[in-house]
Each structure stands twice: as structure tokens, then as C-alpha cells.
Chain A
């Protein structure tokens, strides 16, 4: 009996997995292409029939409306293109501040949740369980109107030592005005930062070679504070302060944190911190108890054990979910539109969209921006994750 010749046996093309896979992918591609083509055609036809203007020319048109808060110079005479950047920067501001604050508060809460002090542990638990089970939008509304109602009118402002002033128009603070020669102070600061980086590397190398430690933290702090301060004094204090003053309606001049920003930042931070706390708790618990015991056996006290042994190991577990919390916070900052904080969604997808009526372009641009921010955060965090990942021999 001749052996069955499997090699030359012909498989019908519709049964060949390779052919099927290619055909299937080809069909998927065609379907998708057709889908997008149809949508594109429909949109063009609809816009043409309804006489809706298309294109990005509107970005150069004069905007003609005011914006409550801007990090770059802006008034009514600027263009719609400018409103885009005003909104974008405001979004980045609240997202950046929110991420920093939520991380700090979240870590503190996560450690508190595992505290052996009963009341602290339970308090943290109640906080976490309450805050993360209530919609963020509701919290934003609540804080905004609660904060507004609790704060006094400008004439009855609360003053903190005559430096800060708090009322229902915001938190006022003296704004620094730089005079000539201040650039040298900035230069000194940059030199100090470079010095610190070098110092850290040098100290680490020295410790690896000789085992001697160097008080890096204290030296760096001194370097960062003293060097710019010396230059500052040497240049004759080239800085003055613009103090806010009470005017007809409210305070003018100086710097100001608007209540919309405070409420949004507060709500975003409190909400995200509750999630981060749970992530941190899970991360710490994932480190085997043997690590704690080993650290104790080496004679480390509670603080160093946590800081040098537990946290670095738990970071591997913490980073991936922490990344998605950062992404969530950034995306959630778009809820600003509900209370009138002028972020990208509120200014650009709100007012600008309504003044120009060009929905497709504006919504598209806004979504592209968020997508870019999200991908950027993911990339940074992935790089960090790779750096601290366990490298096994």
C-alpha cells in the first residue's frame, strides 16, 4: 500500500486557510472602505444641500467673544484658531494639575487604607467607597454650586494675611512682575537643576563603588534654593508684586484662580484619588509579606521599608492601571463644559462650534486632540513601565 501523499494532495482553494484568510481580509477592507466612502459622500451631499460652509478657513476669522480665563494673550479681536489654543492650554492645565494632585492624595489614601490605625483605615475606606460610586458630573455640579454658595461676596472677602484674598469670584494672589535682570535668576535656576542631576548621578556612582552614601536630598535642596536666591539678591531683587485691589465690582489686578477651575480641579482630584488609592492598595498588597519581613530583618524601620522596599516593587503592579486613571482624568476634564470652565470642549466645541456651525471640522479636531493627548500619556507611562519592569536574569 503506497503511503498517502499528503504533500501533493490538492486542497480546494475555498478550504485553504491561507486563501480564506486573504479573501476574508480583502472583503473586510472593501466593506470598511465602502462604509467610509458612503459616510463621506453622505456628509458632503448633506452639507452641500443644506448650504453649510466647509473647510478650515473659519480658523482665521475673528472670534469676537470673550473667554473667562486664558494662559496666552487673548481678547475678542483674536481668531477662532486662537480660541482653539486657549481651550487646549486650559485643558492641559487642569489635566496636569489634576494628575499631580490626584497622585499625591491617592498614594496617601492608599497607604492610609492599610494603616494599622483602625479609625484612619476605616475613614479612608469610607471616603473611597463614597466618592468612587457617585458620578463625577454630579460631584462637579455639587462642588461648584456648594463652593459658590459658601464663599462670600467680594466686599466680604476672606483675607489670608493680606496676601491671598478669597471670595466667590476666586482666589486672588499677588502676581509677580519681573524686572530687568530676572533672566539671570532663571539662568541660575537652570544651572542649579543641571547641577542636581549631575550630583545625583555622581552620588549613585560613588555609592556603588565605595558604599558611602552622600546626603543627596539636602544638598540638592540647598543648591536649588540658595543659588537662585544669591543671584536674585546680587541683581538687587529684580521682582515686584502686583497686588489685587478691590474695585467697583470685584478685585482687579494680580493673579486669580477662578472658582470654575477650583471646583473642577477639586472634583477631578477627589474622584480620581479614590480610584488611585485602590490601585495603590492592591499594589502594596501584591508585594509578598516576606519582603517586609526581610527588610525588618535587615534592620530597616517602617518608613524606609515602605519607601525603599515595598513601593518600588509595587510600582510594577501600580503603573498600568495608574496610566488608565491618568487617561480617565484627562478625558473627564472635558466635563468642564458643564460649569463653564473654558476648556477645549467648552470653548471650541461649544462657543466656536455654535458661532461657525461647522460641526464636522470642529468635533473632528477636538477628538483628534484628545486622542493625541491620550496616546502621548500612554507612551510616556509605557516607557516608564518598561524602565521599572522586572528584569530577570
Chain B
């Protein structure tokens, strides 16, 4: 006699715990309080988001060349499109736009490999981005050699100036930051004190006062007859300020390297500079790349402060454009455009740094 056991097919889970309904029950209406909150949030979003999209997209004007094109009660994006050249190139001569475009293109080509896990010569490309590329940019933008027409820095502006300020700030601050970080961990009390004082001084004061000092006081510090360009003065201020923050980020990396590495380097008979540059720094710098990207984001946003000392970055060029009486009241459009440009850059960079952080994560996450 054979006994056959036939398993009853399992019942399907109740309809209220799977699918859309189940998901909503679990994630939106798990308790009465949660349900209330959900409804409240949904109402708020509806009240804020719908009118915004109506204003910004469905009712907006996109095509035209002057204010007469802005007839509906939505946003007047015509204004942004009409002044786009100012927002991107500042007052760079129209015939020389290709130089700026070339810089943008080069930057894009150099940055893209960094997003791939395995890309041939990725490290070398990164190194070139930090060394050779700035030199190329310098000759391209400043001109005056290789048959390029010189363009004075007073004509730089818009997105291009913002990128130049942020990029030069970070590239020049990196080596100074490394030296300061090493100095702060040095055994020599005098060197350590000097570095600590330098770092704490710049970290303790607002960037606006540093820029103000660079633009107003720096000329007084220099011997008679020596005079810096206004942009260069702002850059000096930014680099000094930024190097202090960079030093703290790198110090974090140095502290994360196990002591055994230092001792092993010593045991191999390497001197201080050799052990630092060949053993410690390569490891430490790799660890702090996310931190460096984060300070870069902070710097990128902080470059807007140069408008207070009269440089025409992207925010300043938007501000100068929105007071143009020929366009009526377009300040909301202008500020939104500036906000969106910054947001795109900062958001993508922060995502990049978060991904890196995850990759470098060695601890346990729950």
C-alpha cells in the first residue's frame, strides 16, 4: 500500500500584503499616525509641486528673442536662452569662444574615465588632469602665446570663471594641503606649531573675509610697484583658505594608515620623504578621495562669494542680467537657472563621492 502525500498548493498571500496595496500598507499606512503623515505630506507635495511645474514647464515661454515673447503667465525661459552666452562665457570675445569650448570638452574627456571601474591608464589620466591639464588651460584661456589673442581676466566670467576658480583652487590647494598635513603630524614642535596655527587660522575665519583681505589688503603687503591681477588675488585667497581644509582631510587619511606601514617603511631603510611619498601617501590619498571630492563641492559652491569682491561668476552674471529693464521681472527665472546649474554639478559629484565611499568601505554596515 502506498501512501501518497499530496501537498496542498500554498495559498497565495492575502491580497492586502502584496502588490501595490501591500506595498502601500507596509510603507505608507502601517499605523494611523503614519497614514496621517502620508496624507499630510502628499497634500503638501501636491500644493507645492503642481503649481511649480505649471509655472516652470507647461505655462512657460521657450521660444523668442526678447521680452515680447513672454506673454503667458509662466516662466520666461526666453530670457535665460537669450543671455546664455553671458552666463557661460562672461565677456570672453565671441570669436574666441572655441577656446573655452575646447577647455570644457577636454575636462569632460578627462573626467569620464574616472567613473569606470577599469579603464586603461586611469591613474595616469587622473594625474594629467591635475598637472598637465591646468597648464593647457592656462595657455588656452590667457592666450598671448602660440598665436592666440590674449584675453585679459577682466573679461572672464560666467560658468567658465566658476569652473576656473574651483578647479585651480583645488589643484593648487592639494600639494599645500599635503605639506600642511605632514607638518601637523611632524615630530618637530616648531613645524607642527606653525602648521597647526596656519590651519586653524584659515579654518576659523569666513571665506568672505579672506577674499576681502585678498582684494583689499594683499596689495598693501607687497613691495611697491608689484601688483597682482584681481582674479589672481582672489585665487590666492581661495587657495590659502582651501589648503587648510584640504590639510585636515588628508590628515584623516594619514591617521587611518596602520602604524605597521610606517614601521615597515622604516625597516626597509627608507628616509622620511621616501617613505611618505612611496608608502604612506599613495595609500592615504586613495582613502581620502571622497573627502577631497566633498571639499571640492564645498569650494565649488563657495566660489559664488567672489561676486562680493566684484568678479563676474555665474551667479554675479545672472544678477547683472536680471536687473536689465528690457526684460521685466525675471529674477526668479535667473536664480532658478543659477541654482539648477550648481545643483547639477554638485549633485553628480556628491553621488560620485558616495559611490567611492561605498567602494572603499571596509567596515560592516547593517
Contacts and interface: CB of A to CB of B under 8 A. Distances in A.
Q: Taking the complex as a whole, does A directly touch B, i.e. does some CB pair lie under 8 Å apart?
A: yes
Interface of A: 21, 24-26, 28-29, 32, 39, 42-43, 45-47, 49, 116-120, 123, 129-130, 132-139, 141-142, 145-146, 285, 288-289, 327, 331-332, 334-335, 337-338, 345, 349, 359-360, 363, 366-367, 370-371, 374-375
Contacts of A366: 209
Given A133-B346, A142-B339, A359-B217, A337 B203 contact: no
Nearest to B339: A134
Interface in B34-54: 34, 37-38, 41-42, 45
A370 B217 CA distance: 18
Contacts, number: 144
A146 B209 contact: no
A314 B219 CA distance: 48
Given A285-B366, A360-B217, A338 B331 contact: no
Contact of A335 (B45, B200, B208, B319): B208
Contact of B189 (A25, A145, A289, A370): A25
B209 A136 contact: no
B65 interface: no
Nearest to B213: A363
Interface stretch (B66-74, B119-127, B276-284, B298-306): B298-306
Q: Which 6 A-B pairs have the closest CB atoms?
A: A133-B346, A118-B27, A374-B204, A331-B206, A25-B190, A135-B301
B326 interface: no
A345 B37 contact: no
Interface stretch (B7-15, B153-161, B220-228): B220-228
A135 B209 contact: no
27 contacts: A25-B190, A28-B190, A32-B194, A42-B222, A42-B224, A49-B224, A116-B27, A119-B27, A119-B38, A120-B37, A133-B297, A133-B342, A133-B347, A134-B342, A135-B301, A135-B315, A137-B307, A138-B315, A138-B335, A331-B207, A349-B209, A359-B220, A360-B220, A370-B205, A371-B205, A374-B203, A375-B204
Which label, helix, strand, loop or mixed, suits the secondary structure of the B interface? helix
B188 interface: yes
Contacts of B203: 327, 374
B27 A337 contact: no
Contacts of A26: 190
Given A141-B335, A146-B332, A363-B213, A334 B208 contact: yes
B343 to A, nearest CB: 5
Contacts of B305: 137, 335
Interface string B197-237: 00011011111110011001101111110000000000000
Interface string B331-354: 110010011001100110010000
Given A42-B221, A146-B332, A359-B217, A332 B206 contact: yes
B30 interface: yes
A136 B37 CA distance: 30
Nearest to A25: B190
Residue in A29, A120, A138 whose Cβ sees the most chain B Cβ within 10 Å: A138
Given A42-B223, A138-B338, A345 B209 contact: yes
A31 to B, nearest CB: 10
A289 B297 CA distance: 32
Contacts of B21: none
B324 interface: no
Interface of B: 27-28, 30, 34, 37-38, 41-42, 45, 187-191, 194, 200-201, 203-209, 212-213, 216-217, 219-224, 297, 301-302, 304-305, 307-308, 315, 319, 331-332, 335, 338-339, 342-343, 346-347, 350, 365-366
Given A123-B41, A134-B342, A137-B305, A367 B209 contact: yes
B188 A370 contact: no
Residue in B30, B206, B347 whose Cβ sees the most chain A Cβ within 10 Å: B206
Contacts of A374: 203-205
Given A21-B187, A117-B38, A285-B366, A138 B221 contact: no
A138 B332 CA distance: 11
Contacts of B205: 331, 367, 370-371, 374
Contacts of A359: 216-217, 220
Nearest to A142: B335
Given A137-B305, A289-B366, A331-B205, A118 B28 contact: yes
A48 to B, nearest CB: 11
Contact of B304 (A47, A137, A288, A345): A137
B191 A28 contact: yes
Contacts of B188: 21, 24-25
Contacts of B366: 285, 288-289
Contacts of A288: 366
B238 to A, nearest CB: 14
A285 B305 CA distance: 35
Contact of B213 (A120, A367, A375): A367
Nearest to A271: B301
B206 A117 contact: no
A266 B253 CA distance: 35
Contacts of A28: 190-191, 194
Given A21-B187, A129-B347, A359-B216, 9 more contacts: A42-B220, A117-B27, A141-B315, A327-B204, A332-B206, A334-B208, A360-B217, A363-B209, A374-B205
A46 B209 CA distance: 21
Nearest to A366: B209
Nearest to B307: A137
Contacts of B30: 116-117
B209 A145 contact: no
Contacts of B346: 132-134
A210 B204 CA distance: 48
A134 B301 contact: yes
Given A32-B194, A138-B339, A288-B366, A43 B221 contact: yes
A106 B216 CA distance: 37
Nearest to B33: A117
A292 to B, nearest CB: 10
B343 A134 contact: yes
Contacts of A49: 224
Contacts of B201: 371
Nearest to A143: B335
A117 B212 contact: no
Nearest to A330: B206
Contacts of B223: 42
Contacts of B204: 327, 370-371, 374-375
Nearest to A52: B220
Nearest to A117: B34
Contacts of A371: 200-201, 204-205
A292 B67 CA distance: 60
Contacts of B297: 133
Contacts of B212: 345, 349, 363
